[in-house]
Structure 1
Amino acid sequence: MEVSALSKRFPGKRGTPEKAVLDNVSFRVDDGEFVTLIGPSGSGKTTLFHLIGGLELPTSGDILLHGRSTVGARGHIAYMPQQASLMPWLTVSANIELSLTIAGLGKREARGLARDWLARIGLDAAADQYPDVLSGGMQQRVSFLRALLSPQRLMCLDEPFSALDALTRQHMQAWLLSLWESNRRSVLFVTHSIEEALLLSDRILVMSAAPASIVREVAVPFPRPRSEALWSDAAFIRLKQELYDMLRPDAARG
């Protein structure tokens, strides 16, 4: 995917001035690459996802997937929001099956694929249960699996672990890493956690405050596979501090 000179302004209400959210944002996500966006709260990261997913139209700029413009078009990405957003009236397996049948698979094939993958991630016993009996971490696993099994090559993950407690979040990070490394889908990930960004990413894009632009691009130098043991590495700590300094409110823009 390539985002080219993307800007977004929302009209003002009742005589108030318009609100500029994104300003000339450009970046790419290569095939099989894990790219993370970090930036201040309110810097337009979720708006950017809405533009990429076709839920909003940009004021200017373009979004290309496989070289073709997808501005305003839906169904080109797999999306995982901050909350699991599972349908409470469907079982765990049926939640996954529904997304697969919408993507064009037959019901029998969708059911078999859902059951097979639930077993792979250790949730086969929960297949016929309803989402409300699952823990937050288990619900997020199901939500991620639903995105992973969709046919789109690009997954957009919008702070998927932000609502989890610290220990569950660490477990989910390790789980996501292991599953992604065996599958290598292209991922665009949003987080407020610098440690999470460094643990998961190939590259980190630092966004400014709104109206947001990309002010830094950081290639993560640590070899894969990775684990939480990396957090005590001296180079990890130095890079974490550098990223923190970039995000400080008094850091220079641009």
Structure 2
Amino acid sequence: MKPALEVNAVSKRFDGVPVLDGVSLTVGDGEFVSLVGPSGSGKSTLFQIIGGLERPEAGKIRIEGLDVTGRRGLIAYMPQQASLLPWRTVAGNVGLALEIAGVSVGDTRRLTHEWLARVGLADYADAYPHVLSGGMQQRVSFVRALLSPRRLMCLDEPFGALDALTRMHMQQWLLSLWEANRRSVLLVTHSIEEALLLSDRIIVLSDKPASVLKEIAVPFPRPRDERLWSSPAFNALKEDIYGLLKPAAHSGF
């Protein structure tokens, strides 16, 4: 079976400044992969290239074996902020991906309400986004991405703006939902702990221009929970990854 995503030797410059330098990575079918790296190392730029919003100067993007370089609309995307449409209800925001995909009105309504019930937001179906907490808005945003017909989900630091306790709850929520559905996921995060908790593999990027420093297979069995954070093996691996990033620590990681 072809990988869900192949990034092959992708390079990119902005105004003559190199941002990505021959980045290659894969995400297998049903695999959860995280990208960690210094601030400003080009992780979001790589997402824009994967999503077709930017074209690389060199390299290719393949999804399920097909060259999709520069093509849009082929991934499900969850940004750092929930980016919900304020004039649409919660149900309207969740159903947007299905509407765009051409799903019938009846099926869109059924799936939307089914999933809102599954994530504990059934009572908010007719509410508007401004009445929701940050964590609730992110749940709506994730379900909208999950209901996209695209098998590959790209999550760009989706919990970065949340407080520590809400972030921990959202990590557990995401983990349980992913384990039940096993979509292919590429996650950008600044949190080594988050990457270790969620991922099958972690790809460590260098400072700009970004290249792959190391790929790490996460050895911890699933299902996982926050008790993992206190294990010696977890903390040893966290220190190893932090050691890879230490030279770039002054850059704001």
TM above 0.5, yes or no, is yes
Cα drift, residue 249 of structure 1:
1.8
Q: What is the aligned partner in structure 1 of residue 194 from structure 2?
A: 196
Cα drift, residue 96 of structure 1:
1.3
For structure 1, the residue ranges without an aligned partner over 5 or more in a row are 12-17
SS where residue 235 of structure 1 aligns?
helix
Cα drift, residue 163 of structure 1:
0.2
The 1-side partners of 2:175 and 2:248 are apart by: 33
Counterpart selection for 2:157 from 159, 164, 170: 159
Counterpart selection for 1:5 from 9, 22, 42: 9
2:92 counterpart of 1:88? no
SS where residue 247 of structure 2 aligns?
coil
TM-score using structure 1 length: 0.95
| Conservation of the 8 A alpha-carbon contact between 2:90 and 2:126 | yes
The 2-side partners of 1:84 and 1:52 are apart by: 20
Q: What is the aligned partner in structure 2 of residue 54 from structure 1?
A: 52
Alignment of 1:163-242 (within 5 A): 163-242=161-240
Q: What is the aligned partner in structure 2 of residue 41 from structure 1?
A: 39
Counterpart selection for 1:28 from 26, 29, 48: 26
Alignment of 1:93-172 (within 5 A): 93-172=91-170
Cα drift, residue 227 of structure 1:
0.1
| Conservation of the 8 A alpha-carbon contact between 1:97 and 1:107 | no
Cα drift, residue 116 of structure 1:
0.5
The 2-side partners of 1:204 and 1:97 are apart by: 32
Aligned partner letter, 2:55: L
Identity of aligned residues (%): 67
Give structure 1 regions of 4+ aligned residues with deviation exceeding 4 angstroms.
none
SS where residue 57 of structure 1 aligns?
coil
Cα drift, residue 40 of structure 1:
0.2
The 2-side partners of 1:54 and 1:191 are apart by: 21
Cα drift, residue 192 of structure 1:
0.3
For structure 2, the residue ranges without an aligned partner over 5 or more in a row are none
Cα drift, residue 250 of structure 1:
6.0
TM-score using structure 2 length: 0.96
SS where residue 248 of structure 1 aligns?
helix
RMSD: 0.9
SS where residue 203 of structure 2 aligns?
strand
| Conservation of the 8 A alpha-carbon contact between 2:38 and 2:248 | no
What do the CA deviations read for 1:189-239 (whole angstroms, capped 9, x no partner)? 000000000000000000000000001000000000000000000100100
What do the CA deviations read for 1:51-72 (whole angstroms, capped 9, x no partner)? 0000000000000011111111
The 2-side partners of 1:150 and 1:240 are apart by: 33
Q: What is the aligned partner in structure 2 of residue 19 from structure 1?
A: 17
Cα drift, residue 181 of structure 1:
0.0
The 1-side partners of 2:229 and 2:166 are apart by: 17
Aligned length: 245
The 2-side partners of 1:112 and 1:27 are apart by: 37
